[in-house]
Structure 1
């Protein structure tokens, strides 16, 4: 069978095109390998600092000095601004004792402070100082704001 010159010429073009296509794939493959390898060192470099900082934090020991700390907190009621005094005893970053005292100005406040004072120990004793944040204790939500304010001051003092 004899092929016409146009068929032979077309076959040659297909052969050349196939060779170029394979050469292009090889170039892309090489490029893809380079791209794959480049992010890997960045990822491991990014992971290393967090592992190091976690280990450092774990080895640092206590965050707070042991002792008894006292601070005042205030909060707004519908009638007035009320104040409470919070005393926390901290040992190895854990609250071991809490005392809250108040001098309520309004009769309703006396009721809520009393409830708060009766229930606060169950909320904080035995817990890590950093894990404590109260929102409502024994039905009292406003007194909690004063407590959290005093707690923030105590954390600052205990780090000293």
Structure 2
């Protein structure tokens, strides 16, 4: 195990330990993709967005960084999602990969309008890129 791997593993352990100690372990993921109060599981009227598969780049950060997002929609619900990391820096790539692995369980089955990610898998930057990509996808799917 390299020194960088050990540092990342230690940081993950400390973050997870702190989250469990403060009672935030499940709320980080649960809050991130939770449907809004108005999302009662069934949309009234006809769908707002076209069904199909949509792709967009999501941008975030000062450098800037990006991720690829592919979403499949049916009746305004996300039925599938894929996040493609684009980072070249090893630390950023690890964070993007953890984020990509966590996203499907947070958003699949949700109404696209109720999804807004905040902090996922210890990551606060990449969710901003996901939200940016989702906004682009919504614009494309509504035209």
Same fold (TM over 0.5): yes
* Structure 1 consecutive aligned stretches of length 4 or more whose deviation exceeds 4 Å: none
More helix by share: 1
Q: What corresponds to 1:145 in structure 2? A: 128
Greater RCO (CA < 8 Å, at least 6 residues apart)? 2
Q: Does 1:93 align with 2:76?
A: yes
Q: Indicate if the aligned counterparts of 2:68 and 2:85 stay in contact, CA closer than 8 A.
A: yes
Determine the structure 2 residue equivalent to 1:123. Answer: 106
Structure 1 unaligned residues grouped into runs of 5+: 1-56
Which residues of structure 2 form unaligned runs of 5+?
1-42
Distance, in Å, in 1 between the alignment partners of 2:70 and 2:49 is 15
Q: Is residue 68 of structure 2 the alignment partner of residue 69 of structure 1?
A: no
| 1:137-160 deviation digits (Å, cap 9, x = unpaired) | 111110000000000000011111
Residue among 98, 107, 113 paired with 2:90: 107
1:105, distance to aligned residue in structure 2 (A)? 2.5
Post-superposition Cα deviations, 1:48-80, rounded to whole Å, max 9, x if no partner, equal: xxxxxxxxx933x11111000000011116xx3
TM-score with structure 1 length normalisation? Answer: 0.60
Question: What number of residue pairs does the alignment pair up?
Answer: 101
**Given that residues 82 and 105 in structure 1 are in contact (C-alpha distance below 8 angstroms), is that contact kept between their aligned partners in structure 2?**
no
Q: Which is higher, the Rg of structure 1 or of structure 2?
A: 1
Deviation at 1:106, TM superposition (A): 1.6
Superposition RMSD on alpha carbons, in Å? Answer: 1.4
